[in-house]
Structure 1
Amino acid sequence: MQATIISVANQKGGVGKTTSTVNLARALVEAGKRVLVIDSDPQSSLSIVHGLDPRRLRELDATGKTFYFGLVKDAPLDALVIDGAPSLIPASIRLANAETELVSPFGVATVLKEKIASLRERFDFILIDCPPTLSLLTVNALTASNAVVIPCKTDYLSIMGIPLLMETIENVRRRANTGLKIVGILPTLFNARAAHDAEALQELRASVAAKRVEVFEPVNRSTVFDKANVESKAALELFPDSPGIEQYKVVAQKLIELHASQK
């Protein structure tokens, strides 16, 4: 059975995309799944959290072993995989050049979709950590994906960006990927004691109700995520009893159900 490909996307920065990718991947690994995470952000946050320091990333970049070389150049993606649980295709700052260098006779939005095919028998799930922009990198990820998870911080500025992301997803559906599904919106960095957060969460649910998009229960704001990043581990692994963190298992179960429905 071929891998289910999931984009973790939101054009707003600081909403927990990388944290969500790391912890969803961990939940899927704990469920016995073969998982690959792809760092599609030139800031390389996912790669660094995975344990690759900047010097190691420079070494990988110098030898053509980062995502840039698979997306823009001729390196096969399966040759870039760093095996693990989950496995990783890392990114470097060089990926910022991809916007101007992507070339394909079939359209630049479909480059990743064509190249990722070689990985789909090797894994059960491929999670793509998207950059905080609605750029060609994000559009390529959405075009290659079966579904998208949308982390969203519970504040009004983050919520205001959701309609634009929904519009982008609809455009991708119409033009390149009719089967793209929205798994749901995952509220992050939630402060249960703050009235603003509760109001923002209510507003988020109201804003997508007409589209029948699921809004999951929120993941609480906590220092455990920063502590886990320092250890190059998922918070779900190190602090499984922290309030709200079990939501990653809930979302992961939705992904498992989606994967099963594709048989």
Structure 2
Amino acid sequence: MGRIIAIANQKGGVGKTTTAINLAACLAKKGKKVLAIDMDPQGNMTSGLGVDKNSLEYSVYDMLNGDCNLGECMLIDVYPDIKGLNLLPASRELAGAEVEFVTVEDPQYILKNHIKNVRRKFDYIIIDCPPALGMLTVNALTAANTVLVPIQCEFFALDGLSQLIYTVNLIRKQLNRLLTIEGIVFTMYDSRTNLSMQVVDNVKQNLNQHIYNTIIPRNVRLAESPSYGMPIIAYDPRSAGAEHYMMLADEVIANDYYK
């Protein structure tokens, strides 16, 4: 049965979408069948995989709104050089879904109900969440088995993390009792600065959560790749960014308690 991982952090600018794109791509590169779901109205996961979000026939918004089914929304083998990477894309209309959910019965379960019948067809379902606690994020966390949390190596890292842990606990109590934190992954690590090292040490000392050994470095090629609509493994497979996201994919597979 497919493992559903929500990539989430209520703090923006932490490498959340970069991690969602590249983890999904690297898992597919390793032979896994992956469904990437873009639940962020900004649609950066969609454009980061080379899809024009302004020319979609159907998007996640249409699926959630009942205007199409998951199969009609899904883009199969979305990136030509990475077989097995499929996408439910987002468009700017998704921003309006928060308001429209108000009139729907049990709106927290809409995404879960759509993917529950197809999860057996995938090894991994990777959900990119918005950087805020709204109904879109609640839907993602209600549908997920685990939450993977990217943390930028900067001073306020623990503040955003504590907010997310509080949210996960609320979701677990009220909507999804099996939800757990998959693990923490450090991003934008700069080995030249003491701050990055201090943040890593501080989180490890103060947080009782699984922390992935892989640390994603600051990398120019990694920062460039979304503007070309390419995951880093396709844009520059020899870069440090590609190497480390492949390492993270290996760790996620090894940590698979839903085998």
Amino acid at match of 2:19: S
Query: In structure 1, what is the equivalent of residue 243 of structure 2?
Result: 246
Distance change >3 Å, CA 147–CA 68, structure 1 → 2: same
After superposition, the C-alpha distances for 1:137-161 in whole angstroms (9 at most, x for unaligned) are: 1111011011111111111223311
* Partners of 2:25 and 2:121 in 1: CA distance: 17
1:35 Cα deviation (Å)?
A: 0.8
* Partners of 1:194 and 1:178 in 2: CA distance: 40
Cα RMSD of the aligned pairs, angstroms, is 1.8
* Partners of 1:254 and 1:181 in 2: CA distance: 17
Q: Say whether the 8 Å CA contact 1:219–1:245 is kept in structure 2.
A: no
Structure 1: stretches of 5+ with no match in the other structure: none
Aligned length: 252
* Partners of 1:69 and 1:44 in 2: CA distance: 14
Distance change >3 Å, CA 242–CA 137, structure 1 → 2: same
Q: Say whether the 8 Å CA contact 1:46–1:129 is kept in structure 2.
A: yes
Question: 158-167 or 71-80, which moves further after superposition?
Answer: 71-80
1:17 Cα deviation (Å)?
A: 1.1
Amino acid at match of 1:236: I
1:262 Cα deviation (Å)?
A: 2.7
Q: Say whether the 8 Å CA contact 1:38–1:126 is kept in structure 2.
A: yes
Q: What TM-score results when the alignment is normalised by the length of structure 2?
A: 0.90
Query: In structure 1, what is the equivalent of residue 61 of structure 2?
Result: 68
Identity of aligned residues (%): 34
Query: In structure 1, what is the equivalent of residue 54 of structure 2?
Result: 58
* Partners of 2:246 and 2:123 in 1: CA distance: 16
1:45 Cα deviation (Å)?
A: 0.4
Q: Say whether the 8 Å CA contact 1:77–1:118 is kept in structure 2.
A: no
Question: 240-249 or 229-238, which moves further after superposition?
Answer: 240-249
Query: In structure 2, what is the equivalent of residue 111 of structure 1?
Result: 110
* Partners of 1:8 and 1:125 in 2: CA distance: 12
Query: In structure 2, what is the equivalent of residue 196 of structure 1?
Result: 195
Query: In structure 2, what is the equivalent of residue 126 of structure 1?
Result: 125
Query: In structure 1, what is the equivalent of residue 25 of structure 2?
Result: 26
Please list, as runs of the form range in 1=range in 2, the aligned pairs for 1:75-114 lying within 5 A after superposition.
75-84=68-77, 85=83, 86-102=85-101, 103-105=103-105, 107-114=106-113
* Partners of 1:253 and 1:164 in 2: CA distance: 28
Q: Say whether the 8 Å CA contact 2:214–2:247 is kept in structure 1.
A: no
SS in structure 1 at match of 2:27? helix
1:246 Cα deviation (Å)?
A: 3.2
SS in structure 2 at match of 1:137? helix
* Partners of 1:216 and 1:130 in 2: CA distance: 23
* Partners of 2:40 and 2:147 in 1: CA distance: 16
